[in-house]
A and B are shown apart, each in its own frame.
Chain A
Amino acid sequence: ETGVTQTPRHLVMGMTNKKSLKCEQHLGHNAMYWYKQSAKKPLELMFVYNFKEQTENNSVPSRFSPECPNSSHLFLHLHTLQPEDSALYLCASSHTTGPDSYEQYFGPGTRLTVT
């Protein structure tokens, strides 16, 4: 248990569905991250939020829409996804985004399958 929870743990959705992934951290951190881990590929950073402000969008398609209503919660809204979007989506948090916050804490991930 890292203090970062993600729901749901597994999600199957059709290409025309709209769904949301939720991440919550109980660590008092100010930075939160979304990563994507596809089969046979390294983890890819998608979005970064620091003090609720988005500081990084790593050229992610607009069918992925993040939301950070406060420093403890992070959402990833999904719509009209493609089968190649099937992956493990990981949330992480850290004190801030600066290098003095050397440790990122990861949640267990949401396994997404797009049919």
Chain B
Amino acid sequence: DAKTTQPNSMESNEEEPVHLPCNHSTISGTDYIHWYRQLPSQGPEYVIHGLTSNVNNRMASLAIAEDRKSSTLILHRATLRDAAVYYCILRDGAGGTSYGKLTFGQGTILTVHP
């Protein structure tokens, strides 16, 4: 399975933008880039996903490098509620043995300061 590399932890101040990086140098052409986050004492929740183009939704933006070997999750104005573990996941869309699966890594622990 293609793997992702994320920093172990990042810190931000409330109401400032946060850029969470993810490297996935072995990504294949059919892998989707997914982001989930896990708030304390909760199950993970979907944040955003993309394939090649940048994506925006009500929670965040996803910027995908032109060569697709890296991506950045952007939280435009961090709030205390955004403190969580953020997971960058590659999801196979081609029908191989890992078809459709989410394989979680360690993620990035985001701390938001008031």
Contacts and interface: CB of A to CB of B under 8 A. Distances in A.
B100 A98 contact: yes
A7 B93 CA distance: 32
A97 to B, nearest CB: 5
Interface string A95-113: 0011101111111110000
Nearest to A56: B101
B17 interface: no
B114 interface: no
Interface in B45-95: 45-46, 49, 91-93
Contacts of A45: 101-103
A107 B43 contact: yes
A2 B45 contact: yes
Contact of A90 (B43, B46, B92): B43
A61 interface: no
Which of under 10, 10 to 19, 20 to 34, or 35 or more describes the interface residues of A? 20 to 34
A5 B76 CA distance: 31
A43 interface: yes
Secondary structure at the B interface, as helix, strand, loop or mixed, is loop
A106 B44 contact: yes
Secondary structure at the A interface, as helix, strand, loop or mixed, is loop
B88 to A, nearest CB: 12
A5 B32 CA distance: 28
28 contacts: A2-B43, A2-B45, A42-B104, A42-B105, A42-B106, A44-B104, A45-B101, A45-B103, A90-B43, A92-B43, A97-B99, A97-B100, A98-B100, A99-B92, A99-B93, A99-B100, A101-B100, A102-B34, A102-B91, A103-B46, A103-B49, A104-B44, A104-B46, A104-B102, A105-B46, A106-B43, A108-B42, A108-B43
Question: Which 9 pairs between the two chains have the least Cβ-Cβ distance?
Answer: A106-B43, A99-B93, A43-B104, A103-B46, A42-B104, A97-B100, A90-B43, A106-B44, A102-B49
